[in-house]
Structure 1
Amino acid sequence: MNAVEIQAHARQLFEAHGAKALAEAAQMVRKVEESGDKRLVDDWRRIQVALTQLRGPGVS
């Protein structure tokens, strides 16, 4: 996925799950790790980073 797609997925996940979006992304990372698809794992990790950035400063 390119950067625009990563950001779009992160926004959609955040809109759908709110504060639980980061946990949902982490769950997806674990799920796709089991499948062995490294590219998809990398995409989901990038989505996690984008979600962290969406939450803004002061939230950990």
Structure 2
Amino acid sequence: MNTMQITQHANALYRVHGDRAEAEAAQMVRQCQTEGKQEQADNWQAIRQAVRAKRGPNAS
């Protein structure tokens, strides 16, 4: 998955799930790893990182 696709997936996930988008992506990472789908897990991890960057820093 290229950078543009990752960004598009992250934006779509954030639109649908809002602040839960990162948790949803993390769940997909775990699911793919459990199923032995490492390439998909890596893609979901990249999406998770893109969602985190979009969200910005946590408030203190």
**TM-score, structure 1 normalization:** 0.91
Q: Does the alignment pair 1:2 with 2:2?
A: yes
Matches within 5 A, 1:1-60: 1-57=1-57, 59=58
Name stretches of at least 5 consecutive residues in structure 1 with no aligned partner.
none
Identical-residue share of aligned pairs (%): 42
Aligned-pair CA distance for 1:54: 0.3
Aligned length: 59
For 2:51 and 2:38, locate their aligned partners in 1 and report how far apart those are by CA, in whole Å. 20
**TM-score, structure 2 normalization:** 0.91
Runs of 4+ in 1 over 6 A off after TM superposition: none
For 1:27 and 1:38, locate their aligned partners in 2 and report how far apart those are by CA, in whole Å. 14
Name stretches of at least 5 consecutive residues in structure 2 with no aligned partner.
none
For 1:23 and 1:41, locate their aligned partners in 2 and report how far apart those are by CA, in whole Å. 14
Amino acid at match of 1:31: Q
- How large is the Cα RMSD of the aligned pairs? 1.1
